Structure 1
Amino acid sequence: MKSIAINKEMQAALTPSAVLQDLLDGNTRFTGGKIQAVDNSALVNQTTTGQYPKAVVLSCIDSRVPVETVLDQAIGDIFVARVAGNFENVDILGSMEYSCKVAGSKLVLVLGHEACGAVKAACDGVELGNITALLNNIMPAVHMSAEEVEGEANSTNKAFVAATVANNVKLTIQRIREKSPILKEMEDNGEIQIVGGVYNLHSGKVEML
């Protein structure tokens, strides 16, 4: 049973590659039906005076992808930023910089997911209220996929949607490095890794890109 929260010393001893492997091991437990038992009361008590998460995950808001659950992480283990379409913006970049530079996290994981509704809407050029501006952030991935995938460039083409989901993750990582000199420098120095993956709704498995 997990009853000990990550402390400063434990966090400092972690490497980015070890953190990534830990998250993937957690996903393997999730898909295998072997999620760890957790003493939430103990973790709550231990984290009242501070937090030392090992990673920050940028994911979609999709209700079918509860990040802590699918990566089998507990209270105090990871930061999670969520927005439909899992793209970066100034606020999320600032949150990531806080997570890594200030709070000591060792990994940035951009996590897309299969059949993302925001990606599908972007593929179809949906325009509706504030959703229109949100989807503009995903359009570079749509244009990229249109040059790579044969067939119709809309949500009826499953291969096109899958490519756009993956491209959106890749382009988000690229923009994180371009827009955040802090995170770029930390990655260049080996202090953190910035990686991406896609969650499969059918299997529950995270596939790294």
Structure 2
Amino acid sequence: MKLIAIVFAALGSSGLALAGDDHGGPAIPRPYTTGATLTKAVQAGISPDKAIDILKAGNARFVADKPLKRKLKAQVHTTALGQFPYASVVGCIDSRAAPEVVFDQGVGDIFTARVAGNTVNEDILGSLEYAAKVAGSRLVVVLGHTSCGAIKGACDDVKMGNLTTLLEKFKPAVAAASTPGEHNSHNHAFVDDVTELNVRQVVQKIRDQSPILKAMEDEGKIRIVGALYNTSNGKVNWY
């Protein structure tokens, strides 16, 4: 805890535009406009539930193949010295499941942390704590996806270099699944169950291993939720 406080203090006084240049002063909340570049005032007006609604609307546009026509280069210039994302997403490295794409988001809208199997470790937890406590993110989403290679590898007890240690993180979900039939990647229902269990377990792990985020959720300042992206139709389901 002391180390995190020291890091936050150092970042805040370094002059670096790492997560926005001005996080110290209060902001008068302003309404959110779909597709507009986020400011501190607009971020301040977004509740955790509103953040979920924004992501749901973005995914609906993605599924309908009607993404917003953003001027991304203009957003690059607008956010050059500061950013005020409203949500953080822990996603998988899978090339089909990029959060900014499947949620139809622009530059400066969401923080993303990606690792095979959408799990967390101390580095990702620290990043999420920074995003919420310092940078003002209102939501943490653990985004799993169907047909996940990491989950399949864990189901098959794959051993390969450093991947072996990573796949061990999914073994609790593998052990908890009670799907009928053989418990390996050939059983698609089993893989689906393990995938969902893993998302739910990672959500709980965030609460258990980050007192900062747990306290913020208990106080209603953020929400920590799970979601699952379907690689067949592009739709995100929430739980």
So what's the TM-score if we normalise by structure 1? Answer: 0.97
**What's 1:82 paired with?**
114
Please report how far the alpha carbon of residue 4 of structure 1 lies from its aligned counterpart in structure 2 after TM superposition.
3.5
After superposition, give the CA deviation of every residue in 1:87-123 in whole Å (9 maximum; x if it has no partner): 0100000010011001000000000000100000000
CA contact (8 A) 1:3 1:40 kept: no
SS of the residue 1:43 aligns to = helix
Listed as ranges, the matches of 1:63-142 within 5 Å are: 63-142=95-174
Post-superposition offset of 1:183:
0.2
Percentage identity across paired residues of the two chains? 50
Asked if structure 2 preserves the Cα contact closer than 8 Å seen for 1:3 and 1:39, the reply is no
Residue 195 of structure 1: CA displacement?
A: 0.4
CA distance in 1 between counterparts of 2:115 and 2:236 reads: 18
Matched, 1:61 2:93: yes
Q: CA deviation at 1:2?
A: 7.0
Q: Is 1:152 the equivalent of 2:155? A: no
Measure the CA separation in 2 of the matches of 1:133 and 1:49. 38
Rounded to whole Å, the distance in 1 between the matches of 2:35 and 2:170 is 40
Q: In the alignment, what sits opposite 2:70?
A: 38
User: After the TM superposition, which parts of structure 1 deviate over 6 Å for at least 4 consecutive aligned residues?
Assistant: none
Point out where structure 1 has 5 or more consecutive residues left out of the alignment: none
Query: Where in structure 2 are the equivalents of 1:9-20 lying within 5 Å?
Result: 9-20=41-52
How many Å separate the matches in 2 of 1:165 and 1:4? 34
Counterpart Cα distance in 1 of 2:60 and 2:148? 22
Q: TM-score, normalised by structure 2?
A: 0.85
Measured against aligned partners, the alpha-carbon deviations of 1:173-202 in whole angstroms (never above 9, x if no partner) come to: 011000000000000000000000110011
Count residues with an aligned counterpart.
207
Report the Cα distance in structure 2 between the residues aligned to 1:84 and 1:127, rounded to whole angstroms: 15
| 2:38 equivalent to 1:6 | yes
Say whether the 8 Å CA contact 1:2–1:39 is kept in structure 2: no
1:185 paired with 2:215, answer yes
**Residue of structure 1 equivalent to 2:26:** none
Q: Distance in 1 between matches of 2:126 and 2:49?
A: 23
Q: Give the letter aligned to residue 171 of structure 2.
A: M
Q: Distance in 2 between matches of 1:84 and 1:59?
A: 8
CA contact (8 A) 1:3 1:43 kept: no
Q: Relative contact order (alpha carbons < 8 A, sep ≥ 6): 1 or 2 greater?
A: 1
- Once residues 202 and 72 of structure 2 are traced to their aligned partners in structure 1, the CA distance between those partners, rounded to angstroms, is 33
Separation of aligned partners in 2, 1:206 and 1:179: 26
Tell me the SS of whatever aligns to 1:182: helix
Aligned to 1:21: 53
Instruction: Say which one has the larger Rg.
Output: 2
Query: Helix, strand or coil: the match of 2:228?
Result: strand
